[in-house]
Structure 1
Amino acid sequence: MKRFLAAFILSVLCVSAGQAAEPFVIKDIRVEGLQRISAGTVFNYLPVKVGDSLTEKKSQDAVRALFKTGFFRDVRLERDGNVLTVSVVERPSIAGIKIAGTKEMSEEDLKKGLKEVGLAEGRVFNKSLLDRVEQELRQQYFGRGYYAVSIQPTVTPLERNRVDINIQVAEGKVARIREINLVGNRVFADKKLLKLFSLGPKPWYALFSSRDKYSKQKLAGDLERLRNFYQDRGFLEFNIDSTQVSITPDKEKIYITVNITEGRKYTVTGHKLAGTFVIPESELNALIGIQPGSVFSRKEVTETTKKMSDRLANDGYAFANVNAIPEVDKEKSEVFFTFFVDPGRRIYVRRVNFAGNVATRDEVLRREMRQHEGAWYNAAKIQRSRVRLQRLGFFDDVNVETPAVAGVADQVDVNVNVKERPTGNLMLGVGYSDSDGLLLNASITQSNLLGTGKELGVSFDNSRSTTNFNIRYNNPYYTKDGISRGFNIFSSTIDASLADTAAYSADTQGMGVFFGIPLSEDNSVNVGADVEKIILHTNTSSAQIAQDFVAKYGSSNTVLKATLGWSRDTLDSLLLPTSGSLQRLSAEVAVPGTDIEYYKLTYLAGRYWPMSDTFTFKMKGELGYGAGYGGTDALPFYKNFYAGGSSTVRGFSSRSLGPRDSLPPNDPIGGNRRVLVNAELLFPLPGSSADNKSMRLSLFTDGGMVYGPGEKVELGQLRYSAGLAFNWFSPVGPLSFSYAIPLNDKPGDRTESFQFTLGVPLR
């Protein structure tokens, strides 16, 4: 800075003392001293040109303008007759930058940051900028707890007016928190309050914990949690008076002292509404969560104002503001709240715009939107639109923004940005299932055919026990009202003895049509009809149940069956849901008069509860019942329910629970009734990024059992297991690993702790 002022004053003095003291008309301009910078650059920044009259003020402006470019460390103006000579000394350029000694931050990231502020190879070197970078880098290390860090920048001059910059970093040891002291708390003990802190001394057993690593940002978050804790329990006047962070002379130990004033506990005496009411006042009153006589809670007050704002936003008041204004009676430790409602201007949606959908047509996204163009803004409909787009399964991520329209006070746009995932799949591969062993498969599947949202799939699967061929087509918007229609053609051959169940083999062919009818946003009905022909093959070594069935009903049967189902689905995602519920009631009925007459009923109910930003609790239950009617005594054995394995009760071998055949080797034969229960705590894979939505872990407990005709359904017979599972929607297909320990296995049960599935849908 001193050199800049000296050069500036010198240049002014040169002009003032020389011939430039008197104004003159510039006939020509010459530039001297240039090495890398072109004369055109100088002329571009120079505020005078040929033909101008050069005065003392214009001389000062010219010198100031050239210095301001940052290209020069010295600028002088001289007059030679009517010729203006501009003499400059260029700043050196940066030949190279080297950073050594950094472990906490990568050299690549640091160089990227230096480039953003102007320090990069080929740029003009500015010493003051390097000083600022040094200070900022030091602050970055301080923020990470490295208070002993040493940063030594070295500038080495080179030929042709260039410099090398070397930044040597000695990080030192990170300072560790030795103790956090709370001063002023009387109502709550230190032990209880310190549990709120993410920072603190590291326990002896937590070898890899970073709890004792000081962070200014984390401390601020801990103090906010402390404030919320008190204010959610009535302490309206709670205050954090001061916070001292001290470090030992060796800069390795940190002591934190937090001084607080608890104040007194306040109760709420009442509340009222004020302001402008664009929706019924009674409706807003119903949203108020605080009641007279209750202990003051900042959380409840905040939730109340949010509920009111959200309700107003559903009627178009996107920028509504609700303020909770307290009237405090300090003598009685009471508080009365006035909720002042300012709805603002009612907002319309001008346009709904889509971005990121390269393969998917706009109409596929637009038909899922519940917020329409030209309509009042509705926050609930916008959120619902986002959920519906996520549940299509075409996108990894869906982001919705509602920017105001420039120059208009009552309009916003709804901008939907999606990140597409591959929806077409040509697969020739090998998979594995704990139930079917090695899987050989070939399939062509397009769940978003030509970007239309229609689904077409042709698949061939061959496992140890089963060979399947299937063609499936589905149009989710067969009508504009959202009624779907689909067709499928299928053929399968099964040798059940190879699946460790009752021995028999069967060939099945069929085709069907199905419809999906939406009743509301969350409710839908499915109806369908299939014609199915099954040919059973048995011999003297086949299971007794199969021989008895063929003897009574023959080896070849054709069935026309109808399917009917109802579902209520409020899950927030098709793949890895974190909130919402699912209920599904389905029936499969063989039409009277066909060779075999039976029915199967299944009811499934599940719910997800988000416990935090990362943890989700899930519970699920399923009941199944089947029977024969008319001329059929019981549910056909090949339609039986099974339990055990990765999709029902993990920790037990696939399909192994329940009744067994009367003939050796007494293989499982399933049953006509089934009970399944499941509870899981779902959480992300440690170390994975926050936006990773393709994998997660879970701690689970499974339970289940199947019962045969005539057996009493006793819940005490359910088998239970517990364990850890990993689910991943990998590039090669869904993958699931689980390790389960049976909790109440009985003699004769087949257990299998480790199970995994590749290339088949996850549970």
Structure 2
Amino acid sequence: MTIRSTLFPARLVYPVVAVCALSVSVVHAQANQFVVKDIEVEGLRRTEAGTVFSYLPIRVGDTFTDEKALQAIRSLFATGFFEDVKISAKGDVLVVTVVERPAIASVEINGTKEFDKDTLKEALKGVGIGESLIFDRSLLDKAEQELKRQYLSRSKYGAQVQTRVDQLARNRVGITFNVDEGESASIKQLKIIGSKEFTEKQLLEEFELSTGGLMSWYSKNDQYSRQKLSGDVEKLRSFYLNRGYADFSIENTQVQIAPNKQDIFITITIKEGQKFTFGDVELSGQLLGRDAELRGLMQAKKGETFNGEALTDTTKSIQDRLGNYGYAFANANVIPELDREKRVVNINIAVDPGKRVYVRRMNVGGNTRTKDEVVRREFRQFESSWYDSRKIQLSKERVDRLGYFSNVDIETQPVPGTSDQIDVNMQVEEKPTGNLLLGAGISSTDSLVLSAAIQQQNLFGTGKTVGLELNTSKVNRTISFSQTDPYFTIDGVSRSFEVYNRRTDPSSLNLGDYIIETTGAGMRFGYPISEFERISFGAGYEGTDLEVGQFSPARFQRYVNDFGNSSYAVLLNAGYSYDSRDSAIAPTRGRVTRLTAEYATPLGDQEFIRTTYQEQFYFPIGKLYTLALNGEVTGGFGLGNSPYPIFRNVYAGGIGTVRGYRASTLGDRDADNVPIGGSKRLIGNAEFFFPIPGMTKDRTFRAFTFLDAGNVFQSNEKISFGDLRYSTGVGISWLSPVGPLKFSLGIPLNSESQDETQRVQFTIGTGF
């Protein structure tokens, strides 16, 4: 193939002499110089001629010299497109002859199970081996090393990689990597040398890595990782610093791999040093007239045992507090001074607030489907106002709680050319919010449950929720349609409505031979009164049919005789809620308050009121443990001449109320020995969550111990703590793919002869 840059006629071909460099040859004219009248490029198949001309330092009309020829060769060879380049002259026509490198048509990886193949292919692209790239054989070794590096990160030190290159038509190649992963190496020994004040067992409890245990198949904590070891070493350092050892040091960290490449031995040598207390603790620098406020944030006190975490928390609190006032780049640096003779550490915290800055723009990215408005209305930091780190963090949390995104990141970026402005960039990652669920579940209460639900939580990216639910529980059958608009008004007033039909057949629980069917509709409006509080008001209509037979409990037969099989109610309801939990599914701190009241007006067949008050508290105990407390009081009362409807009674027993007792069996019974529930209920629960050994980082799978108390009472009874039933036990909580699962082994503490106990209980889909 011959390509000319201009249409000048070829002249006599000069005799040539080959000059070789890096397997690239140059043929130049015996004459020292000539003026280039034309340039021809030969050997091209894929590369455009314009690409070659763009790299050539020679143009038509230039004087050709040996020096320019060598420059041209170096330039073309440096592109990586060619295996060979030859420059020759035919008269005053310059001829460039090239041999192109082949293109990579395909990359195949065989034998890998540890990684997704696409992940490995992306890693190979980083070293220049990928489909459609130019093939460079010298990069194959780098590609093999990159694959092995990926496996080393998973403790597979015996992984082997063999590469095959197949020549294909049209100057292409196919590359195949055959991988033998081998077995994962495991930690056989983990030793700490030099500890005197603490046992090796105490120190190793701080580590994520271990020599293995019952759950290592799941947590993989016995597989060595350089990153994990570095993290564990820092935990070890923090352990000592938080207990007063201010001059603690890591002398050596040694990792040895056995010849079989399956066993790893880790030895950490430490020097504990002396135990110190805090001496003088001072603040210096620019305190902006907030001396007392900033000193109030200091957690390090003179005379107390030295604690590195207290210093870290202090500096962070100072920086965060200054960030609330617009100082986005504030620094608080700890300057320690050790007095080894007195064993005290004098601390000076130097504060540099920097400049106060404005937020120029709040940017949102990644929301390919959700409208900008849906995200921006959750912002509490506004553009053209002072930077406030508290409001920015709150904005992130509110967007995260929407449930529309799998990931929400936020970062600040200085505005180029200014020293007092920043941009706040929020990057979100969309996740599917439409669900079509067809499935089955099982619990110790309801046996087999078939369910179907269609729900779209973010309809057309507007933030509205529409749902259709069908549940075929053996006891409770439900079909409902609901719609919620969280921003019915721009001020955050929400509106929701629901149309439903519920059918209850408690005969399977031996609670009586009767059927209650309720059909209703309602609408509710919610009003935010603070960042964590809402009040709500609503109204609805509900019709109830009560079917009884010859063997139905006497109380239902009497109710039908007095009021008939059918009744209806016109309902008004109100509520208050407060929620400051750090997570809605697996909280570790915060509080939840719920207060609801429902009033059946005289417009219906009966007049009554039912109220529920619930409090939940979550307390973190260290970094691994959580104490959860729950209390609930429910009371229903008839008004005027109307009794409280028996089909609205509440029940107790089982998961969610008092474990260790059969579901819904506590309280009084009728003449047929059937539990009748009550119009009032008192429930109390305490749960202490702790990690399962070997899974300390997994908050979705935790064990717990519990203490439950509760019972139901009739409308003419007073709630008495002496009548409560108590139980204790252990359990496992798992956030499974099908919903929260709880399994408990409960032991009743004060059961009586009429109580029905059930020690092993489980359920899917309930909370506390």
TM-score for both structures, normalised by structure 1: 0.83
Q: Is the 8 A contact 2:370 2:462 kept in 1?
A: yes
Partner residue of 2:321?
311
Alpha-carbon offset, residue 313 of structure 1:
1.4
Partner residue of 1:190?
200
Q: Is the 8 A contact 1:513 1:528 kept in 2?
A: yes
For 2:21, the aligned partner's letter is F
Residue 711 (structure 2) aligned to one of 672, 695, 705: 705
Partner residue of 1:412?
422
1:305-704 aligned at under 5 Å gives the runs: 305-420=315-430, 447-448=457-458, 451-455=461-465, 472=482, 474-487=484-497, 494=504, 496-497=506-507, 500-506=510-516, 508=518, 512-530=522-540, 532=542, 534=544, 536=546, 538=548, 541-550=551-560, 559-574=569-584, 577=587, 579-591=589-601, 596-609=606-619, 618-632=628-642, 635-649=644-658, 652-662=661-671, 664=672, 666-677=674-685, 679=687, 681=689, 699=704, 701=706, 703=708, 704=710
For 1:740, the aligned partner's letter is S
Partner residue of 2:189?
179
Q: Distance in 2 between matches of 1:293 and 1:247?
A: 46
Q: Distance in 2 between matches of 1:688 and 1:57?
A: 68
Q: Is the 8 A contact 2:453 2:468 kept in 1?
A: yes
Q: Distance in 1 between matches of 2:23 and 2:242?
A: 66
Partner residue of 1:263?
273
Residue 114 (structure 1) aligned to one of 89, 108, 124: 124
1:147-166 aligned at under 5 Å gives the runs: 147=157
Could you list the per-position Cα deviations for residues 106-130 of structure 1 after superposition, in whole angstroms to 9, with x for gaps in the alignment?
Answer: 6654444323322245644434322
Alpha-carbon offset, residue 646 of structure 1:
4.9
Matched, 1:8 2:18: no
SS in 2 for 1:307: helix
Partner residue of 1:741?
745
Q: Is the 8 A contact 2:542 2:570 kept in 1?
A: yes
Assess, with a 3 A threshold, how the Cα gap between structure 1 residues 98 and 383 changes in structure 2: closer, same or farther: closer
Partner residue of 2:285?
275
Q: Distance in 2 between matches of 1:233 and 1:531?
A: 63
Alpha-carbon offset, residue 288 of structure 1:
0.9
Assess, with a 3 A threshold, how the Cα gap between structure 1 residues 292 and 142 changes in structure 2: closer, same or farther: same
Assess, with a 3 A threshold, how the Cα gap between structure 1 residues 595 and 77 changes in structure 2: closer, same or farther: closer
Residue 45 (structure 1) aligned to one of 34, 50, 55: 55
Q: In the comparison of the two structures, how many residue pairs are matched?
A: 745
Partner residue of 1:3?
none
Q: Percent identity over the alignment? A: 39
Could you list the per-position Cα deviations for residues 267-297 of structure 1 after superposition, in whole angstroms to 9, with x for gaps in the alignment?
Answer: 2112222222336121111111101111222
Q: Is the 8 A contact 1:8 1:63 kept in 2?
A: no
Alpha-carbon offset, residue 420 of structure 1:
4.6
**Bigger shift: 718-727 or 150-159?**
150-159
Could you list the per-position Cα deviations for residues 632-666 of structure 1 after superposition, in whole angstroms to 9, with x for gaps in the alignment?
Answer: 5x64322222123454345654422222112x253
Assess, with a 3 A threshold, how the Cα gap between structure 1 residues 8 and 741 changes in structure 2: closer, same or farther: same
Structural RMSD (CA): 4.3
SS in 2 for 1:718: strand
Alpha-carbon offset, residue 28 of structure 1:
1.8
Alpha-carbon offset, residue 443 of structure 1:
6.8
Q: Distance in 1 between matches of 2:653 and 2:495?
A: 33
SS in 1 for 2:245: coil
SS in 2 for 1:226: helix
SS in 2 for 1:658: coil
Structure 1 runs not aligned, ≥5 long: 1-5
Assess, with a 3 A threshold, how the Cα gap between structure 1 residues 715 and 409 changes in structure 2: closer, same or farther: farther
Q: Is the 8 A contact 2:454 2:467 kept in 1?
A: yes
Alpha-carbon offset, residue 102 of structure 1:
5.5
Q: Is the 8 A contact 1:502 1:669 kept in 2?
A: no
Matched, 1:239 2:249: yes
**Bigger shift: 705-714 or 487-496?**
487-496
Assess, with a 3 A threshold, how the Cα gap between structure 1 residues 399 and 529 changes in structure 2: closer, same or farther: same
Assess, with a 3 A threshold, how the Cα gap between structure 1 residues 344 and 69 changes in structure 2: closer, same or farther: same
Structure 2 runs not aligned, ≥5 long: 1-18
For 2:335, the aligned partner's letter is I
Could you list the per-position Cα deviations for residues 550-598 of structure 1 after superposition, in whole angstroms to 9, with x for gaps in the alignment?
Answer: 5666666555554333221113455555543211122334457976444
SS in 2 for 1:571: coil
Q: Distance in 2 between matches of 1:448 and 1:250?
A: 54
Alpha-carbon offset, residue 168 of structure 1:
5.8
Residue 65 (structure 2) aligned to one of 49, 55, 58: 55
Could you list the per-position Cα deviations for residues 614-645 of structure 1 after superposition, in whole angstroms to 9, with x for gaps in the alignment?
Answer: 9765432222233345435x643222221234
**Bigger shift: 614-623 or 58-67?**
614-623
SS in 1 for 2:413: coil
Assess, with a 3 A threshold, how the Cα gap between structure 1 residues 165 and 637 changes in structure 2: closer, same or farther: closer
Matched, 1:19 2:46: no
Assess, with a 3 A threshold, how the Cα gap between structure 1 residues 523 and 595 changes in structure 2: closer, same or farther: same
Alpha-carbon offset, residue 142 of structure 1:
4.8
Could you list the per-position Cα deviations for residues 682-719 of structure 1 after superposition, in whole angstroms to 9, with x for gaps in the alignment?
Answer: 889999999xx9x7666564734323343744265235
Q: Distance in 1 between matches of 2:151 and 2:301?
A: 48
SS in 2 for 1:656: coil
Q: Distance in 1 between matches of 2:730 and 2:260?
A: 50
Q: Distance in 2 between matches of 1:358 and 1:92?
A: 38
Partner residue of 1:751?
758
